[in-house]
């Protein structure tokens, strides 16, 4: 693995950093307090070409790689984790399965609109009684002529209220377990699609997660991804990339926690000197710095493997697990370093604390990541 960034990767990172520092910071604060979708930030990302960052130029994308994508997400998450996950869900979970697994017709129909941001995307797998257990889902798709008729409910779907396209999973052969799941690219103006509830969450307030209801939703057969019964394969391959996106978001939250802690520790005086001069604080800062660098290396390794077309299931799980737990630990230490002020909304670290937690849960909990990693290392023995 070459640790030196290419000129294109540095350029994408620098553009994202400039946008984040100059414009996104205040948007992130306001979106968190008002629970408002940061439409102006997403529009600017579209203008900058970030919503099609790894899509080929033939579809209107920027034609960059997943390392550049990771760098951009990290920079965005430093200032607004909500904006980062909106982009991550759109790119990793909605655009990539069409790019990587779709037909030529599906690619030409969906990707140009998704690359420009005129169509935002989401990924509808989780259900009220089926999270980690995808085979436990109840949504059904029944073939009727040239269409599938879909009925069911999905839960916690990021971007759902704003999306124009969704990757929807449903059982076509319920008696076959995960071999009976199929995946569809669905336009959200299809009759029968409904957003039934937007969640009131602990954090990530600007990225709206919603419950969906499908009532006799008729989806053309040509919108099926791969073949009938291949939906679990679609989900797993998609989540390999999705976990790189969440690891990058977690990195940004962790880095923001460290940067805020460094600033505060050098300004806050106790017993006549900055708290940064106390070993107890220095050790916290040192641990945060080491773990953030380690998480970044894991994440960029997974991204590099994905760009090479190599298997990265174990590596993306490792990156997501370590980066998410680093984000939570760094945010916790940031609140502790800030003391009582860290528990108030006057300082951003309380938001980092709330935003960090979800990175240990969505796109596969930390427990699921450990199962994925364990299965891989045991298989290699």
Active site residue 363: yes
Q: How many helices (H) and strands (E) does the chain have?
A: 12, 10
How far apart CA 292 and CA 352 sit, in angstroms, is: 15
How far apart CA 223 and CA 60 sit, in angstroms, is: 21
Tell me the CA distances in angstroms from 261 to 218, 257, 333, one per residue in order: 52, 6, 8
CA dihedral 292, 242, 35, 335 (to 10 degrees): -20
SS3 378: helix
How far apart CA 328 and CA 334 sit, in angstroms, is: 10
**Cα–chain center distance at 191:** 28
Q: Answer yes or no: are the C-beta atoms of 32 and 3 closer than 8 Å.
A: no
**Which DSSP string corresponds to 247-298?**
HHHHHHHHHHHHHHHHHHHHH-EETTEEGGGSHHHHHHHHHHHHHHHHHHHH
Catalytic-labelled residue, pool 74, 227, 363, 367: 363
Pairing of strands 209-220, 147-158: antiparallel
How far apart CA 369 and CA 334 sit, in angstroms, is: 25
- Which positions ≥6 away from 16 have C-beta within 8 Å? 48, 50, 71, 72, 75, 76
SS3 200: coil
Token pair of 260, please? 């805020």
- Helix (H) or strand (E) holding 179, with range, is none
The dihedrals phi and psi of 184, each to the nearest 5 degrees, come to -135, 145
Active site residues: 363
């Amino acid at each position: 693995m070459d640790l030196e960034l290419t000129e294109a990767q540095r350029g994408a990172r620098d553009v994202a950093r400039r946008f984040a520092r100059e414009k996104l910071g205040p948007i992130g604060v306001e979106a968190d307090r008002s629970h408002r979708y940061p439409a102006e930030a997403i529009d600017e990302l579209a203008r900058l070409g970030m919503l099609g960052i790894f899509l080929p130029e033939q579809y209107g994308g920027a034609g960059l790689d997943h390392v550049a994508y990771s760098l951009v997400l990290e920079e965005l998450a430093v200032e607004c984790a909500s904006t980062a996950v909106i982009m991550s869900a759109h790119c990793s979970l909605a655009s990539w399965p069409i790019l990587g697994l779709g037909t030529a017709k599906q690619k030409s129909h969906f990707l140009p609109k998704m690359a420009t941001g005129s169509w935002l995307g989401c990924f509808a797998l989780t259900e009220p009684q089926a999270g980690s257990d995808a085979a436990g889902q109840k949504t059904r798709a029944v073939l009727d002529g040239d269409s599938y008729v879909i009925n069911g409910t999905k839960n916690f779907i990021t971007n759902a209220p704003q999306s124009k396209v969704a990757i929807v999973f449903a059982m076509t052969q319920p008696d076959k377990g995960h071999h009976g799941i199929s995946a569809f690219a669905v336009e959200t103006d299809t009759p029968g699609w409904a957003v039934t509830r937007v969640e009131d969450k602990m954090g990530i307030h600007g990225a709206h997660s919603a419950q969906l209801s499908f009532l006799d939703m008729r989806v053309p057969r040509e919108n099926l991804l791969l073949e009938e019964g291949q939906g679990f394969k679609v989900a797993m391959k998609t989540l390999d990339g999705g976990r790189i996106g969440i690891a990058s978001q977690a990195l940004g939250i962790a880095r923001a926690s460290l940067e805020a802690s460094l600033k505060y520790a050098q300004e806050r005086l106790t017993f006549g000197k900055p708290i940064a001069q106390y070993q107890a604080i220095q050790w916290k800062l040192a641990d945060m710095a080491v773990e953030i660098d380690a998480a970044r290396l894991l994440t960029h390794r997974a991204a590099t493997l994905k760009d090479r077309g190599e298997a990265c299931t174990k590596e993306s799980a490792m990156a997501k697990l370590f980066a998410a737990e680093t984000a939570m630990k760094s945010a916790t230490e940031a609140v502790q370093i800030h003391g009582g002020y860290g528990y108030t909304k006057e300082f951003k670290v309380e938001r980092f604390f709330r935003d960090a937690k979800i990175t240990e849960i969505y796109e596969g909990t930390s427990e699921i990541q450990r199962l994925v990693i364990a299965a891989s290392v045991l298989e290699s023995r």
